[in-house]
Homo-oligomer: A and B are copies of this chain.
């Protein structure tokens, strides 16, 4: 089993649960727990410098903000920073995030070994994930597997998000059209915006703009 594991998790309830599991159930000798991504990166560097690197990183994706000023503010940034430095370190993501888009982004692009969904069996899944990764295999929580393999994968572009954001901020379609054309963004015509919104209404099963924005909010898109 892994000897030295770093756990990055802001919620102490969760961190406590994970670290005791690692020690008690899996017999990991050294579990280091931190609540900040900045700190995590420093710890990784320091351990490398002392010739006692971590064998595994388990990290959350979203972190609550507090008073501390941060340079790395999310698990996403942390992982990207590690990968650009070419550090050979298996990574397991443990998150509540279950949007297909983010999941595939990580598992494919960033060479993440496992993606565990914090659900009812999150801890059990994590245990299995650690075991699998130790044997050089990958691991995805059931629901994640279904998400990435299923058909419910729509490409929502930043453009769509911006439209939804404008709407939720009280702009009319007409105002949005003017805004975009002033910015030089294309497409900007009222017609195109309507068409785009119609596609979104279709995807998110909404009757009108009100429901569309409500559903987008529920999905965490805006």
Give chain A's interface residues, CB within 8 Å of chain B: 10-18, 20-21, 35, 64, 66, 94, 96, 118-124, 126, 167-172, 206-211, 213-214, 217-218, 222
Question: Could you say which residues of chain B place their CB within 8 Å of the CB of A12?
Answer: 17, 120-124
Q: From the candidates B14, B210, B211, name the one contacting A14 in the complex (CB within 8 A).
A: B14
| A11 and B66 in contact, given A168-B214, A208-B170, A211-B170 (Cβ under 8 angstroms) | no
**CB nearest to A217 among chain B residues:** B217
Q: Once bound together, how far apart are the Cα atoms of A169 and B206, in whole Å?
A: 8
Chain copies in the assembled complex? 2
Q: Once bound together, how far apart are the Cα atoms of A167 and B211, in whole Å?
A: 7
Q: Which of A13, A94, A169 has the most CB of B within 10 A?
A: A13
A-B contact list, 10 entries, CB within 8 Å: A13-B126, A14-B14, A14-B17, A15-B17, A20-B20, A167-B211, A167-B214, A168-B211, A170-B206, A171-B207
Given contacts A10-B119, A12-B120, A64-B120, 15 further A-B contacts (CB under 8 A): A11-B122, A13-B13, A13-B18, A13-B122, A14-B17, A16-B123, A17-B17, A17-B18, A17-B20, A64-B119, A66-B119, A168-B214, A169-B214, A170-B208, A172-B208
